[in-house]
Amino acid sequence: MYTLEQWLLDKLDKLWNPTGEGFPGAVFLFGGIALILSLFLCGIIGMEREKRGRSAGLRTHLLVGVGSCIVMIISIYGFPAVFGGHRDVARLAAQVITGVGFLGAGAIIHRNSGIKGLTTAGTIWIVMAIGLACGSFNFILAFVATILIIIVLTAFKKVEVRLNRKNPTVILTAPVGEPVLDKILTVSKAFDCSIQGLSTELVSDGSMKFIEVTFQAVFSSAEDRVNEYVSTLERETHAMSVQLLAHR
């Protein structure tokens, strides 16, 4: 696809280097613009993650985005074809996609209480894509993609919270010896709520031992009774804490 940026690059290159034998100043100029733009766009997404206190924050997103941009520029312009041979400009980009996939997997934390870090892993992957777009001089695509991602991370957060009100993940911690499971089933039945994915874990704190129960509560009624349900669980099970697992 012949983009606006590529058309502008060709025009500038002909003005800068009409004979085709001089220094490729237009490519050099666009490379600098690509690095600065990737720094700016990936920084916006990184700041959003930083404000939410995620482990992969501003610096991580900047390094991934700018690094991807550098690799893309090298892949396109760093290996000129020799003696009329052919080169695959997408080879290095493919390796970046694989490598950043492993980096994103490191941001995901799996515990008995659930999985955290999926959104942050997704933002690490998307800043890589934005960096590749900048490195291939698709500036408009990178800019529009950044705007859409910011909308997803901010406005859609409220939508997600509302959707999850009817099927929250509950983490209940209670002393050992209490009939916790029976109480959970009794309270859930009273609230017309079904239990899914229930798991238990024995937790010790010095000489004290507690049981941590994690499950997903699915409410059949359209009425929002989550807060009342949590309060009743805490009272009936003598729980030390009842919390709802938030998305990260």
pLDDT category, 139, cuts 50, 70, 90?
Answer: very high
**Strand-pair partners of 218:** 194
**What is the overall mean pLDDT for the chain?**
81
* Contacts within 8 Å (CB) and 24+ apart, 1-4: 3/137, 3/138, 3/140, 3/141, 4/140
pLDDT over 90, % of the chain = 22
Angstrom distance (rounded) from CA 143 to CA 13? 23
How large is the average pLDDT for residues 152-159? Answer: 80
What is the average per-residue pLDDT within 157-164? 70
For residues 74 and 80, what is the distance between their CA atoms, to the nearest angstrom?
10
**Percent of the chain whose predicted confidence (pLDDT) is above 70:** 83
Q: Which residues contact 123 (CB under 8 A, 6 or more apart)?
A: 45, 46, 48, 49, 56, 61, 149, 153
- For the cut 80, the answer to whether the pLDDT of residue 3 exceeds it is no
Confidence (pLDDT) at 145: 95
> Tell me, what's the pLDDT at 163?
67
Which residues pair with residue 181 across a beta bridge?
Answer: none
170 φ/ψ angles, rounded to the nearest 5 degrees: -110, 135
Every domain range in the chain assigned CATH 3.30.70.260: 167-244
Write out pLDDT tens, residues 197-226: 888 888 877 677 888 888 888 888 766 788
Q: Which residue has the higher pLDDT, 1 or 230?
A: 230
**CATH assignment of 167-244, among 3.40.190.10, 3.20.10.10, 3.30.70.260, 1.10.760.10:** 3.30.70.260
Taking only the tens place, the pLDDT of each residue in 234-245 is 888 888 888 876
